[in-house]
Amino acid sequence: MKPLTATTIVLAIVLATQAAPCRGQSVGPPEKIAKPVDQAISIRQATQKQEEKWRLEKEKLTARFELLGQRLRRLRARAGQLRERSEAAKTRIAAKQKQLDDIRQISAQIVPCLKELNRQLKQLVAGDLPFLLRERRERLRRLDALLQDPDVTASEKFRKVTEALQVEAEYGTTIEVYQQSIDIDGRNRLVNIFRLGRIGLFFQSLDRRTCGFFNVAENSWQKLPPKYNHSLAAAIDMGARRRPVDIVTLPLGRLATP
């Protein structure tokens, strides 16, 4: 039903006052009629203002409700993404934990193996040709201290042991020339040392008149006939890179047997 306007109310009241004499009723003064009309108009205007205020408030609340609904949908979507990430993170953490457990298990097994390799390296150096003994023994001493240190990780211990193995292995495929004081016939003499891999260790006096080799079987330096001076001098020059590589003849002697 369409609401009545203020004009409609006034017209209805006027008609009512005009119709009263026909029914034998008396009509009051105009002031008594106008006052209720003004009150009705004021009430209606106040009602309309209140309705307009409610309408605006409803529109604001509706807009806020829609905005909150959008935010809620975004938050739910974000929560779903975070749950997926959380599950993925839990899976990765479980995998990393398994790796750590495997590493601890491997570490417990590999350290004794590394100590055994170090023991074998010590035996190798002790029974090998006596070249660079101070350097090689110092490397083994540091390696032994490293393996005994509980604060060093198993990976670092493994790296150092493999590094030492690689250095010792490279000695078998390289040649080297250096000077060293050795005992020859009961005399300590400074000579040039020529190392031929791990096969042979030779010496030659600085004046190139005396030469010899290290006899592994007897664990001593022994002289060679003077005829090998020329070949050994050439080998020393090649090892020192003073001349191009060429073929030389050197006695290898007998291999030591265990």
The per-residue pLDDT string of the chain (258 residues; one tens digit each, 9 = 90 and over) reads 445 444 454 444 444 445 444 444 444 555 666 677 777 788 888 888 888 888 888 898 999 899 999 999 999 999 999 999 999 999 999 999 988 888 778 777 888 899 999 999 999 998 889 898 899 999 999 999 999 998 998 889 999 999 999 999 999 889 999 999 999 888 899 999 999 998 899 999 999 999 999 998 888 999 999 999 999 999 999 988 898 888 888 887 654 444
Tokens 């004499």, located at residue: 21
Answer yes or no: are the C-beta atoms of 209 and 193 closer than 8 Å. no
Residue type for position 184: I
Answer yes or no: are the C-beta atoms of 248 and 239 closer than 8 Å. no
* pLDDT attached to residue 28: 53
Closest CA to 252 of 226, 234, 232: 232
Write b or e for each residue in 38-75: b if 16 or more Cβ atoms lie within 10 A of its Cβ, otherwise e: eebeeebeeeeeeeeeeeeeeeeeeeeeeeeeeeeeee
* pLDDT attached to residue 111: 85
Answer yes or no: are the C-beta atoms of 233 and 208 closer than 8 Å. yes
Written in H, E and C, the secondary structure of the chain is CCCCCHHHHHHHHHHHHHHCHHHCCCCCCHHHHHHHHHHHHHHHHHHHHHHHHHHHHHHHHHHHHHHHHHHHHHHHHHHHHHHHHHHHHHHHHHHHHHHHHHHHHHHHHHHHHHHHHHHHHHHHHHHCCCCCHHHHHHHHHHHHHHHHCCCCCHHHHHHHHHHHHHHHHHHCCCEEEEEEEEEECCEEEEEEEEEECCCEEEEEECCCCCEEEEECCCCEEEECCHHHHHHHHHHHHHHCCCCCCCCCCCCCCCCCCC
pTM of the model: 0.56
* pLDDT attached to residue 39: 79
* pLDDT attached to residue 179: 93
* pLDDT attached to residue 29: 58
* pLDDT attached to residue 51: 87
